[in-house]
Amino acid sequence: MKTKEIKISAVQLADAQALALLSRFTWDETFGSLFESRRSVMNYLNRNFSIQNLISQIDDPEISFWFATLDGLPVGYAQLEMNAHSQFIPGESICRLRHIYILKDYQSTGIGTALWSAMLEQSKDMGYEKMWLSVLNTHSHAKGFYEKKGFTFIEGFDMRIGVQRFDMDVMVKEL
């Protein structure tokens, strides 16, 4: 049996449509069932993962995206935000891990770690001292992944999407 090859590559403007589709699908797959209203989910997806919104983010020098492909098919992505100061994290040289999303069928296969390695390398190369993220406090799979990568819990906060309220955890890692 042939070993499948994971490839990590920077997302380009020409990838916006594929990124929009993968972003919408993975976010919905992860969080859609937590909402009381499907309309709220669709509103969130349409607002945050539109092609135009993602084009503006891909074009932003303060944001980096990576695709993870397996045998040429995009199965995950990551997003890093530079100079991402937070009320929860003191300091100046801080970046934010915005997203690591992997299609469920491909989780726990090393893809998340490959994406993480790309973000970590860029963060260190750019001289950042800390990286932070926010994660749903009941998302134990994601929290476990981040803890294995050296992130520690800092503080919790409430986040609203539409009328839905979520308990989030802020985590930080010294780089």
Does residue 57 contact residue 13 with C-beta atoms inside 8 Å?
Answer: no
pLDDT at 100: 97
Residue 5's pLDDT band, with cuts at 50, 70 and 90, is confident
Tokens of 21: 């589709």
What is the rounded average pLDDT for all residues in the chain?
94
The residue assigned the tokens 């994601």 is 142
Q: What are phi and psi of 157, to 5 degrees?
A: -155, 160
pLDDT of 22: 98
pLDDT at 1: 43
CA dist 168 and 33 (Å) reads: 17
Neighbours of 62 (CB within 10 A): 11
The residue ranking higher by pLDDT, 162 or 55, is: 55
Domain ranges, ordered by start, for the chain: 6-174
Q: Average pLDDT in the 135-163 region?
A: 94
Residue 2 has pLDDT above 80, yes or no: no
Q: Using 50, 70 and 90 to split pLDDT, how confident is the model at 126?
A: very high
Tell me the mean pLDDT in the region 11-25: 97
Average pLDDT of span 75-79: 98
Domain 6-174 in this protein, CATH class: alpha beta
**% of residues, the chain, pLDDT over 90:** 91
Averaged pLDDT for residues 153-164: 91
pLDDT attached to residue 7: 96
Dig out the tokens for 92 from the structure: 């100046």
- Residues 6 or more apart whose CB falls under 8 angstroms from that of 53 comprise 47
Mean pLDDT of 1-5: 63
Contacts 24+ apart (CB under 8 A), 120-129: 120/149, 120/175, 122/64, 122/80, 123/80, 123/95, 123/175, 124/175, 126/82, 126/95, 127/93, 128/82, 128/93, 128/94, 128/95, 128/175, 129/91, 129/93, 129/94, 129/174, 129/175
